[in-house]
Amino acid sequence: MLWATAGYTQEKPVKPAGSYIDGVYVENYVYKPNFISAQELKKLIDEKSKDIVIVDTAAVLIFEEQHIPGAVNFPYGPTLPQPITLPRTKTLVIYCACNAEEESIDTARKLSEYGYQNLKVLKGGWAGWLDLGYPIQTKAPSATPAEASGGVAGVVSGLARGTTTPSVPVLDVTGRYTGKRICYVCEFQDDPNVIAFFRDSVEKTADLIVQLDKLYRQEKTKNFKAVAILVPGPDAKPWLEELSKSRNIEIPLVVLAQGPKDIGYRAYKLNPKVANTFLVTSNRVV
């Protein structure tokens, strides 16, 4: 099954030098984000500023469960939803789950092409806000829905084909961000990739991760990416560290920070009856 994903690797098309800004083509246009720190945003919130609108790019389910107080939801997607309902007369402070702000920067860039001028990107994003211990608005998650029927052996797991992949921070165990929260979905962005979820820390899982790593090594010159996510959470960290060392694994091995209770588990519609879920994505779409 893994080898079939090689067909998704392809060279990125060359993007045009310019862009349309509010309907007018501007040659050699390059969007440069204007950042705001978490401390500056916190101050504006405390002052009850009426000049800003905080914009969260998370998927609806994620936003409903947790967000910065007062934020509005504007889910990230390959294209902006139409009509755009965000105000033009206020400063939009856009944030996402990515440490490097990939999703919020891309959203701000797209909004700038529709003539939005008062745009700021939250430096450090949602993860940075959490790290500083600033307040968040939360809601208890709904009960996990019953497993969907259909598919192989009568059960399915994972997002449906054509779905935009939501950004969800994971805890990096062996990747370049070891010990930190990182969203590899945003890190990979438009590159073809495989997001693999594993329920159990067992030898069969190890063998599948080795196969996925082999595929990555074969296809990485074509910008192919892959990440292996252990659902059990931080308890799987020693197992992953040993696997990475003993099998010389190159792809990042990560865990859901809160295990099966993590919001990523629900956002990616994982089925507890399915041991391994592989999502092949390109351009942030399954």
The CATH topology of domain 143-281 is Glutaredoxin (3.40.30)
Quote the pLDDT of residue 115: 87
Quote the pLDDT of residue 42: 97
Q: Between the CA atoms of 25, 26, 30 and 34, what dihedral angle is there, to the nearest 10 degrees?
A: -90
What are the extents of the domains in the chain?
Answer: 19-138, 143-281
Quote the pLDDT of residue 11: 45
- Please give the helix or strand (H or E) that residue 38 lies within, else none: helix 38-46
CA 234, CA 240: separation in Å to the nearest integer? 10
3-state secondary structure 195-233: EEEECCCCHHHHHHHHHHHHHHHHHHHHCCEEEEEECCC
What tens-digit pLDDT sequence spans the chain (286 residues)?
444 444 444 444 444 556 656 556 667 677 899 999 999 999 999 999 999 999 999 999 999 999 999 999 999 988 898 889 999 999 999 999 887 898 999 999 999 988 899 999 999 999 899 989 999 999 877 655 444 434 445 568 999 999 999 988 899 999 999 998 889 998 898 899 999 999 999 999 999 999 999 999 999 999 999 999 999 999 999 999 999 999 999 999 999 999 999 999 999 999 999 999 999 999 989 9
Instruction: Summarize the chain as % helix, strand, coil (round to 5).
Output: 30, 20, 50
Architecture per CATH, 19-138: 3-Layer(aba) Sandwich (3.40)
Identify whether the C-beta of residue 142 lies closer than 8 Å to the C-beta of residue 262.
no
Quote the pLDDT of residue 25: 62
Q: What is the pTM of this model?
A: 0.80
Given phi > 0 = left and psi -120 to 50 = alpha, else beta, which region is 107?
Answer: alpha
